[in-house]
Amino acid sequence: MSSIMNRTVTTPNVVEIAPEVKPPTWRAKLSRNPEWFTAALIVVMCVIVGSINPRFFQLATLFDLLHSATTVSLFALGTLVVLASGGIDVSFTAIGALTMYAITKAVFAWWSDAPFALILVVGALGGVVLGVINGVLVHRLKAPSLIVTIGTQYLYRGILLTFVGTTFFMNIPHSMDRFGRIPLFFYHTADGLRAVLPVSVLALVIAAVVTWWLLNRTMMGRGVYAMGGSLAIAERLGYNLRAIHLFVFGYTGMLAGVAGILHVSNNRLANPFDLVGTELDVIAAVILGGARITGGTGTVAGTLLGVVLVTLFNSVLILVGVPSTWQKVIIGAFILIAGTLFALQRKG
């Protein structure tokens, strides 16, 4: 009996067969990294243009690209934040035009020696005020942000037309003119030309880093993506929707104000109509960078890649003599292609 009690009872080994893990499809990869599509388009375009004109692969081309893309990139980073929250803002160019023109004209008339840092801060604060107006209206009225920002776009442009003026002038404040001439880096090309990388590119780098940090490392950033995913769920999770609305539109306005001041400094003239009509390019860049118009997605890296793609399109099409109307057709076609691919990968 004791031998039976002391006997060790063993059970047969059971081998569990793990389910077969299928490799991720191209749709799944595109879903996780939608900016790959944009990067691939950029590479293809660079190869094609470079094969036609080998001089395209020069450092001067990169400098020109960064110079052209600075203002659009600042607009796009603000648009990314609004789109990620589930909204849309089309008033940022009006904010940029009103702040840059009004501040430039006021400084030139009353304090032409004002330091550039002060002018930039005032431009940012002016943009914040105009952006917060959008946020307050969207939150209070519970209206679609597209409708609200269309209204404020016309409001801001009306104020510019009625009270400020629209005649462009080249006599800008001295500090803004000096800042626009400061090179971050320059060299002389083989043709004897001076290729300059403007110091304003640093503002773009700072804005990109700050935007990435806000969206990925702060509670406000989590609230932005949560609200973009579902407004009701974000509210049940305890996020302050009013604060998020004020933040996203105020931040967009701030970047628009900074972009306007830098635009005047880089071009050394104040023309409020320079920024009018760039809304399509900016929104196209953000969407081509992987952000969904319905909200909850979008990255800083993808947005900047989208800006590069749109800037390349415009620059290349201008060089080959394509009319501006056809440029819009091509950009619109790529938005449709990108939207179709992203929709297909969500179904996959």
Average pLDDT, the chain: 83
Q: How far apart are CA 170 and CA 165, in angstroms?
A: 15
Q: Which long-range contacts (CB under 8 A, 24 or more apart) does 184-188 make?
A: 187/59
Which residue's entry shows tokens 């001076």? 194
CATH number, domain containing residue 79: 1.10.3470
pLDDT band at 41 (very low <50, low <70, confident <90, very high): confident
Q: Is residue 132 part of a domain?
A: yes
Residue 19 falls within a domain, yes or no?
A: no
More confident residue, 112 or 143: 143
Q: Does residue 8 form part of some domain?
A: no
> Can you tell me the distance from the alpha carbon of 24 to that of 206, in angstroms, rounded to the nearest whole number?
35
Cα separations (Å) of 141 from 134, 137, 138, 238, 240?
11, 6, 6, 21, 16
In this predicted structure, the answer to whether residue 4 has a pLDDT above a threshold of 60 is no
User: Exposed, middle or buried: residue 30 (CB in 10 Å: 0-12, 13-18, 19+)?
Assistant: buried
Going by C-alpha positions, the residue among 296, 327, 272, 276 that lies closest to residue 100 is: 272
> What mean pLDDT comes out for the span 247-276?
91
Pairwise pLDDT comparison (218 vs 163), residue with the higher score: 218
Calculate mean pLDDT across residues 64-80.
92
What distance lies between CA 103 and its chain's CA centroid?
24
User: Tens digit of pLDDT for each residue in 283-340?
Assistant: 888 988 888 888 888 899 999 999 998 888 777 777 666 776 777 787 777 667 766 7
Would residue 221 count as lying in a domain?
Answer: yes
pLDDT of residue 245: 95
Q: CA 109, CA 125: separation in Å to the nearest integer?
A: 20
Find the farthest-apart pair of alpha carbons in the chain and give their distance in angstroms, rounded: 110
**5-34 pLDDT tens trace:** 444 444 445 444 445 545 555 555 555 667
Q: What pLDDT is attached to residue 232?
A: 87
Residue predicted with more confidence, 82 or 110 = 82
Is 49 contained in some domain?
Answer: no
Q: Which residue has the tokens 């104000």?
A: 257
Domain membership flag for residue 21:
no
* Cα 141 from Cα 131, distance rounded (Å): 16
Q: Which residues form the domain of 217?
A: 36-43+59-347
Q: How many domains does the chain have?
A: 1
Q: pLDDT of 177-228, one tens digit each? A: 899 888 888 777 777 777 788 899 999 999 999 999 999 999 999 999 999 9
Q: Across 179-183, 246-250, 268-272, 287-291, which has the greatest mean pLDDT? A: 246-250
* Residue-level pLDDT at 77: 97
- pTM summary value: 0.87
pLDDT at residue 60, as a whole number: 80
pLDDT above 90: percentage of residues in the chain: 42
Q: Which residue has the higher pLDDT, 329 or 256?
A: 256
Angle at 218 between CA 214 and CA 222, to 5 degrees: 95
Integer angstrom CA distances of residue 106 from 96, 157, 172, 303: 15, 17, 10, 34
Distance, in Å, from the CA atom of 34 to the CA atom of 345, rounded to the nearest integer, reads 10
Residue 267 resides in a domain: yes
- Of 86-100, 215-229, 248-262, 284-298, least confident by mean pLDDT is 284-298
In a domain, 24, yes or no: no
Q: Band of the pLDDT at 55, cuts 50, 70, 90?
A: confident
pLDDT for the residue numbered 6: 44
Pairing of strands 194-198, 183-188: antiparallel
